[in-house]
């Protein structure tokens, strides 16, 4: 029973963290840019964005700290680390939402909607 529960948990975590489960794409002139595409690819498909901004995204980081006592067990510590990323904003036209493309290590990490343009 324990391995069945562990397998179910692993499958659930895999689905939640897969790009297809949470990713959008940016449509530009009939072509799509999505998770994993490079900055060069996005510029070729969509042109230059209306703005670019470097952001610090906090992400949990697990570390192990040795016990100060001889033979004591190591302790697991979770801290927040700043992960540098870049947000590009695209204007999609009057009445549409802005498209925000987040890059990590030169590739699209996520695409989301911004404010609606009036």
Instruction: DSSP letter for 72, please.
Output: P
Q: What size, in residues, is the chain? A: 118
Instruction: Say whether pLDDT at 4 is over 60.
Output: no
User: Who has greater pLDDT, 19 or 67?
Assistant: 67
Instruction: Give the rounded percent of residues in the chain with a pLDDT score beyond 70.
Output: 81
Domain boundaries, the chain: 24-116
Question: Can you name the residues that pair with 87 across neighbouring β-strands?
Answer: 53, 102
Q: What are phi and psi of 36, to 5 degrees?
A: 100, -20
Pairing assessment for the beta strands 107-116 and 97-104 based on DSSP bridges: antiparallel
Query: How many Å apart are CA 51 and CA 107, to the nearest integer?
Result: 17
Q: Which pTM was predicted?
A: 0.67
pLDDT digits (tens, 9 = 90+) for 30-80: 899 999 999 999 999 999 999 999 999 998 988 888 888 888 898 888 888
User: Who has greater pLDDT, 96 or 87?
Assistant: 87
Q: What are phi and psi of 39, to 5 degrees?
A: -60, -40
């Amino acid at each position: 029973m324990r391995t069945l529960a562990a397998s179910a948990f692993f499958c659930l975590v895999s689905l939640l963290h897969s790009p297809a489960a949470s990713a959008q794409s940016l449509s530009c002139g009939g072509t799509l840019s999505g998770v994993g595409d490079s900055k060069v690819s996005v510029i070729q498909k969509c042109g230059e964005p209306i703005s670019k901004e470097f952001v610090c995204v906090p992400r949990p980081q697990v570390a192990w700290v040795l016990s100060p006592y001889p033979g004591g067990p190591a302790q697991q510590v979770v801290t927040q680390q700043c992960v540098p990323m870049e947000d590009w904003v695209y204007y999609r036209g009057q009445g549409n939402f802005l498209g925000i493309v987040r890059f990590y290590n030169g590739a699209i990490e996520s695409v989301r909607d911004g404010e609606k343009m009036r």
